[in-house]
Structure 1
Amino acid sequence: MTSLQPRSARARTSAPVAVEPDPRHRRPLVLATTLGGAFAAGSTLLVCLALAVVGWFLTDAGAHGTPSDALQVGALGWLMAHGAGVRIDGVAVTAVPLGLTALAAWATWRVGHRVGESVSGHGPDADRIGDGERDWTVPTAVSLFTTGYVVVAVVTTSLAATAETAPSGGRVLGWSLALCLLVGAPAIAIGAGRAAIWASLVPESVRATALTCRRILTSFAGVAAVVLLIAVAADLGAAATMVSRLHADAGATIMLVGLSLAVLPNAVAFSGSYLLGPGFAVGANTLVAPTAVVLGPLPLFPLLAGLPDPGPTAAWTAWLMALPVLVAAVATARSQRLRPTLRWDMGALRGCVAGVVAGVVVGIVAGLAGGAVGPGRMRTVGPFAFDAMVHAITAFGIGGLLGGLAMTWWQRRAARRAAVPVSPH
């Protein structure tokens, strides 16, 4: 967008040229942002409603219940993705299907980015912002975007809630606000071009630390996902046995696979807590960790086939706890290759601080991944979030410190070699 180009870029033009503002970047601010927030919420809601209706037809060809019942189930699934929790036959189910939450976050990001582009022509340009003029475009857009999202969430809660299901409207409101502020707001700022202006004011060390933190998190999530995949693949026969014991037809099997995908990020968080050491519980008084496995009766759910056998663990499984340290070290070193530094203190500080922040994020995600999934002992399912956070802060902090120091040494060594003159003989 011409109005938001840095001053130096526009100064290279040979003569001043009057540029008409692109109408695509000056959509009506109130209308575009409010409808954008409503569309971000409504798009994923429609997906959940459609899946629920398709599942209703697949399971019994519509012999039981009505389409309105299927729509209510889809709406409740969307509300559960926003932390609502529901009651099924009097039993509280508070676990959040993070797969649906991730879908809602993706839609919020994409729509927010488009909204930011459509209103980027409003407000002062980059020169006036650089001169200190206040710009309320993004705050206004975020507020209206959030309003549209929250309205859809409140209406859905009021229409889908019953005395029997009792979803929590307060939690839906809190999760909706969190999605709009943590995902939608950055997307709008980036789409509007303001994020690039603001980022130039942030110190380089802070930006490098943030990049390192993101790389640690994505690398660890990838490793945890691979470990989960290996564990499930190693016991595919047990998963198939679980499905056969349910006497599920093709339609029910497809729905079971869809449910597994909805909670796949939860399972990755369980796997990450396992690698960190504290492990997780699959029912009260149970433990799944590299050093011990204590299990009780389990529901017939395919992802549970990846659980290790109860009893003493193999000696090599304890070494899995070294993976988080190694992942953090490698991720920090790779990140520092993009933003090199020759100062020992900066290399160490970047890696250590990034590791600590990444550990806090992992602990928060571990806390969100668990909850009640059934009656009795199944009220306690999930990672041990606080212990996982402590272990993650320690492992990532040490790994980031070692990776930062190692890459600093390598870059200082390369700089000394480049400084030595080459003899012609």
Structure 2
Amino acid sequence: MTSLPSSLTRGSAEGRSRSAAEVRRDLATRRPLVLTATVGGALAALGPLMVCLALGVVGWFLTDAGGHGQPSDALRVGAFGWLLAHGSGVVVDGVRITAIPLGITLGCAWATWRLGHRVGEAVSGHGPDNDRIADGERDWTVPVAVALFAAGYVVVGVGTAVLASTMSTAPSLTRVVGSSIGIAAIVGGPAIARGAGRAAIWTQHLPSSLRAAYGVARGILVWWLGLSTLAFLVALVLDFSTAANITSQLDGGTADTVALLALSLALLPNAALFTSSYLMGPGFVIGTGTLVSPTLVVLGPLPMVPMLAALPDSSPTPSWTPWLMVTPVLLAAVVAGRAVHRHPAGSWDRAAVRGCGGGIVAGVLLGALTAFAGGAVGPGRMQDVGPVATDVLLHATTALGIGGLLGALAVTGWQSRGGRLRDRLSGLRARLPRRG
């Protein structure tokens, strides 16, 4: 199957009339599918990996000017950072660490999206054209490209795990393969489809209510994660003196402080999801037998980590903190209401599907993200750190679904009332006598 015009294969009059720019564009969108997709997947993995390796070497020189260890040790530390971002886990001094630095994972996802979009543009000329796809001809361009893209990503992941792992560190190769396939498929797949132009063709046949619900879900999720990040930063700033005191007690130099700041940035998305779980109501645990929620705070001995200064005190919670659980309902109502205001639903049932459906989808996605926020971060009780994803899923789908429903229906009702009022005013003007 090919969508190449005949001008590239035959010297017809139509081909001779085509401009040089059009020919260059056709050639640019018909790069070799197998090579382009496979190399694109490998580069999507190698980009963030090279950054992690470089940071490992820089940190090694800043810490002791390369006085201890070898450059290979610094490279191995950088590789472990990349592997941890893919859920590999690692053993440190006999203790299994399974927490995922989601900041690095987010960087990997961004690189995968960018490379996937470019791969899609490069192979968009393969397969049938729009007319033949509309006639029902099957198009395997994107599925094949995604599979090859994932294969290239997996090769880099497996190679990194094999070269960096030792008997004492023991990262999980199975998890690296699974997460590599997941990132390549979940992030790279839509990027390739969008870059190739297939996403627009496939989605144009979806019901408008589904597309609208997706827009509401995306808006709710983005705004909620932004609000959770802001809430964490505010809590940290309010108790910044404690964070500064912890940093000073670590008795590290400038290089150690910079490394600690870099680690905090890598864990910022985790902190945002912890805060999200707190605002939703279920809260989270910082060690076995602990709980941090709007209604109850029970803490034990904590590690010397400056970010933990944002935690509330282990004491009876103030009377106003349970009201924080209203926040997701209000935010979902505002986002859904604004979406319906910009694009009126036209009827009550469409508004309900758009608002409630979007809120539920956002809750499901939030629950899925929360499942990757915690893990084991140390020995003993520190093997249990993070929110409970199932509880967050239940609270989020309920709160965001109800909020989206109320916001969409409220704006629809306001629009309906405003429309009736305009009709009455128009009828009144029509009955008024006109001046000659």
TM-score grouping bracket, smaller chain normalisation: over 0.9
Alpha-carbon deviation of 1:417? 3.6
Partner of 1:202: 206
Aligned to 1:9: none
Any idea what SS the aligned residue of 1:173 has?
A: helix
User: What aligned pairs does 1:26-425 form with structure 2 within 5 A after superposition?
Assistant: 26-420=30-424, 421=426, 423=429
Residue correspondence of structure 1 range 7-22 to structure 2 within 5 A: 20=23, 22=26
The structure that has the greater radius of gyration is 2
Secondary structure of 2:372's counterpart equals helix
Q: In 2, are the aligned partners of 1:208 and 1:350 still within 8 Å (CA)?
A: yes
Match 1:23 to one of 20, 24, 27: 27
**Paired letter, 1:240:** A
Query: Is the partner of 1:53 in helix, strand or coil?
Result: helix
**Contact map agreement 1:341 1:411 (CA 8 A) in 2:** no
- Aligned residue type for 1:275: L
Query: Which amino acid counterpart does residue 95 of structure 1 have in structure 2?
Result: A
Whole-angstrom CA distance in 1 between matches of 2:397 and 2:190: 26
**Cα distance between partner residues in 1 of 2:366 and 2:421:** 40
Segment drifting more, 128-137 vs 181-190: 128-137
For structure 2, which runs of at least 5 residues remain unmatched after alignment?
5-16
| Corresponding position of 2:14 | none
Report the AA paired with residue 109 of structure 1.
Answer: W
Offset of 1:143 from its aligned partner? 1.0
Q: Distance in 1 between matches of 2:418 and 2:43?
A: 52
Partner of 1:13: none
User: Normalising by structure 1, what TM-score?
Assistant: 0.94
Offset of 1:418 from its aligned partner? 4.0
Pairwise CA distance, 1:47: 0.5
What are the Cα deviations for residues 373-418 of structure 1, in whole angstroms up to 9, with x where unaligned? 0001100100122111111111111101101111111222233344
**TM-score calculated relative to the size of structure 2:** 0.92
Q: Unpaired runs of 5+ in structure 1? A: 5-16
For residues 341 and 153 of structure 2, the distance between their equivalents in structure 1, rounded to whole angstroms, comes to: 40
The offset of 1:360, in angstroms, is 1.6
Q: Name the CA distance, whole Å, in 1 between partners of 2:417 and 2:363.
A: 31
Identity %, equivalent residues: 58
Q: Tell me the number of residue pairs that the alignment of Structure 1 and Structure 2 aligns.
A: 412
User: Deviations for 1:238-258, whole angstroms, at most 9, x for unmatched residues?
Assistant: 010000000010000000000
Q: What is the deviation of 1:190?
A: 0.4
Structure 2: distance between partners of 1:170 and 1:411 = 54
Amino acid at match of 1:209: A
**Mapped partners of 2:124, 2:280: distance in 1:** 44
Write the letter of the residue equivalent to 1:342.
G
Aligned CA RMSD, in angstroms, stands at: 1.6
Separation in 1 of the partners of 2:341 and 2:61? 53
| Partners of 1:222 and 1:335 in 2: CA distance | 18
The list of structure 1 runs, each at least 4 consecutive aligned residues, that deviate by more than 2 angstroms after superposition, is: 17-22, 413-420
Deviation at 1:219, TM superposition (A): 1.2
Partner of 2:7: none
Between the aligned partners of 2:142 and 2:421, the Cα distance in structure 1 is 48
Question: Aligned partners of 1:155, 1:336: CA distance in 2, in Å?
Answer: 49
